Structure 1
Amino acid sequence: MSSEFNQVNKLKKTPPQNENFSGSNPLQITEGVIKSSRVKDIPSDGKFIERLIKISRVTKVTKGGKKLSFRAVVVIGNENGKVGVGVGKAEDVVNAFKKAKTNGRKNLIQIPLTKSLTIPHPIIGDVGACKIILKPGVEGSGVMAGGAVRTVLEVAGIKNIIAKQLGSDNLLNNARATIVALESLITRREVERRLDIQNSTK
């Protein structure tokens, strides 16, 4: 009799098991709504993705004292030739991120891509003390870059490229220097059109 009573108590103490639960990741309990704790790039509006490069605390000294705010640097693009860098400041992180996204959408540029998803020719971009050198890569070489430069190139949709970073390590200036370099790219048709215009004016 005592053994049966002990078995009943054990059944009462054991919690009901969920069929969707896996011991390795407790976030999978909610019927597959949250499948993993790893954050992935989810396209917003079905077109653009955003990646946060850096978020930092900024202090402004005023007459009444120090005012604390946050600054967010975001790269936005559609992985098909459109990319932009945005900066936003606010009193909290969420609003700073939203302002940075809005600013990035205003600064979108369209870059020319080849069939092998690389740039048409080598180019150099300078912003402040940052210098970025970009060279086309053969198909299958991948994105050979790091830091903010790699983020900008991936969001732009470039799959094969070689990048070299010189000078300052400032993430914002490196991202802007990459945008300056990509914005300076020209296609073969544009070069031929310019040559035709020059020949016609002579």
Structure 2
Amino acid sequence: MYQDYKNVELVKPGGLDLKDRLVGVQRVTKVTKGGRAFGFSAIVVVGDEQGVVGQGLGKSKDVASAIAKAVDDAKKNLVRIPLQKGSIPHEQKGKYGGARVLLMPAAAGTGVIAGGAIRSVLEAVGVHDVLSKNQGSSNPHNVVKATFDALLQLRNAETIAKQRGISIDKVFNG
């Protein structure tokens, strides 16, 4: 799922205190020869609020099992996100389908300025101060994936120094 990103660190769920957040539940209908078959689709974000987060989708005939399946799926897709003093290291844009997301670091005490699906993801990661803007589609599935796209592109100073083969001081001082 995350093979397109260079510095993705996959995390095993064992030993983590994961909290799940329900982003959305949709009732879906399959029209068959015998009539309509109703089911539910749930999207969930799980995280330890210290930089580890995952998202999952679950589908079932009833809401409770759809959410349970989504939580299990999310635990299989955990990644570590670089955080810096309760915010993100730098400004980043993410996109998925018609959804576009802009994330900007904020000063301490600003809070999470985000709506709906973006807020769920950022709170699960453990970001306390960030500004965000949803540009484009408001479809929660695509907004969550666009937010993950932005978060997975984030790099901290140590990663940049390691990739360039220079010291951290040279990253900032040129």
Q: Which residue in 1 is equivalent to 2:145?
A: 176
Structure 2 equivalent of residue 81 of structure 1:
51
Query: CA 1:123–1:46 in structure 2 vs 1: closer, same or farther (change >3 Å)?
Result: closer
State the partner residue of 1:48.
Answer: 18
Q: Does 1:113 align with 2:75?
A: no
Matches within 5 A, 1:159-174: 159-174=128-143
Q: Provide the alpha-carbon RMSD of the alignment.
A: 1.5
Look up the match of 1:157: 126
1:114-133 map, 5 Å: 114=84, 116-133=85-102
How far residue 194 of structure 1 moved from its aligned partner, in angstroms, is 1.8
Amino acid paired to 1:48: L
Pairs aligned (count): 152
Structure 2 length-normalised TM:
0.83
Structure 1, residues 44-75: CA drift from partner, whole Å, max 9, x if none?
x8701111111111111234432211111111
Measured after TM superposition, the shift of residue 171 of structure 1 is: 1.1
The answer for unaligned runs of 5 or more in structure 1 is 1-44, 198-202
User: What is the 5 A alignment of 1:5-84?
Assistant: 47-84=17-54
Q: Which has the higher strand share?
A: 2
Higher relative contact order (CA 8 A, sep 6+): 2
Distance 1:84 1:177 in 2: 13
After superposition, give the CA deviation of every residue in 1:154-174 in whole Å (9 maximum; x if it has no partner): 111000111011001111111
Do structure 1's residue 193 and structure 2's residue 162 form an aligned pair?
yes
